[in-house]
Amino acid sequence: YFSKRKERLLEGKKVLITAGPTREKIDPVRFFTNHSSGKMGYAIAKKAAEAGAEVTLISGPVSLSSPAGVTTIKTETAEEMYQAVMKYFHDSDVVIKSAAVADYRPVQTNEQKMKKKDGSLILEFERTTDILKTLGEQKEHQILIGFAAETEQLETYALNKLKSKNADLIVGNNIMTEGAGFGTDTNAVTFFRKDGPAEELPLQTKDQVAEALITEVHHLLKERLT
Ligand code: CTP
Ligand code: CA
């Protein structure tokens, strides 16, 4: 009997993936962050490697281990993630930005632990670099994929991000949907394509979503060649 060998859809392709949250330091013991677990990005890295790609995973602080055959680089802040991504960007065929990058960081990081005082605390924040937007501006041959985790108006916001970031695909999900939030092992996403119709995928495991995304990337790379 012949067993059907798993297709290696991304053989030889260089795929750069970001995953997880970032941490923006307030003082030596405190930071500003979000609920991203990194599970979606790590699942994508694993499936891309299984599909034969040369995978570099730039990861924020998460409690997951590096998938087999993947080069994982750990970063903490949005700025560190940005610097790491820029190192690999020009040499990549595909960039998948699943990280939940903080939009703001404290203007000042206190060298010493801050002591509590009476009354309220006001911290001033400044914008971080929008990594995906920067990549969109510098895009050459790369396929650029972003994520949009929204609580409302998914289609409107996702399509805006597709345009404003010059992406080829935005993977959107409404985090209020049961089983599609942060930290879950499942996700319900919609593919918003630059050159094609939107496609709503069913609720499935993050591994299955990752497989669907690998198939989509394969199609995008094929389109690029024709
Ligand atoms: N992103 C990024 N760098 C940032 C912020 C976001 O690269 N500083 C990327 C994310 O990795 C994701 C995409 O941009 O792939 C969309 O992130 P999202 O937070 O949904 O969009 P924003 O443009 O930050 O807009 P907003 O948070 O206001 O919805
Ligand atoms: Ca954001």
Q: What is the ipTM of this complex?
A: 0.99
Residue 130 annotated in ligand binding:
no
The answer to whether the CB of 213 falls within 8 A of the CB of 94 is: no
**All domains of the chain in start order, with CATH:** 14-103+125-225 (3.40.50.10300)
The answer to whether the CB of 170 falls within 8 A of the CB of 177 is: no
Active site residue 34: yes
Strand (E) or helix (H) holding 2: none
What pLDDT, on a 0 to 100 scale, did the predictor assign at position 44? 98
Residue 161 annotated in ligand binding:
yes
Residue 3: pLDDT over 90: no
Residues with CB under 5 Å of ion ligand 2 are: 103
Separation between Cα atoms, residue 154 and residue 61, nearest integer Å = 27
How large is the average pLDDT for residues 156-182? 95
DSSP 18-55: EESB--EEEETTEEE-----SHHHHHHHHHHHHTT-EE
What is the CB neighbour count within 10 angstroms for residue 32? 16
Residue 84: pLDDT over 70: yes
Alpha carbon of 106 to ligand 2 centroid (Å):
15
94-97 and 143-150 beta bridge pairing: parallel
What pLDDT, on a 0 to 100 scale, did the predictor assign at position 226? 72
The answer to whether the CB of 74 falls within 8 A of the CB of 61 is: yes
Residue 222: pLDDT over 70: yes
Tens digit of pLDDT for each residue in 7-57? Answer: 899 999 999 999 999 999 999 999 999 999 999 999 999 999 999 999 999
Alpha carbon of 94 to ligand 1 centroid (Å):
18
| 107 burial via Cβ count (<10 Å: 0-12, 13-18, 19+) | exposed
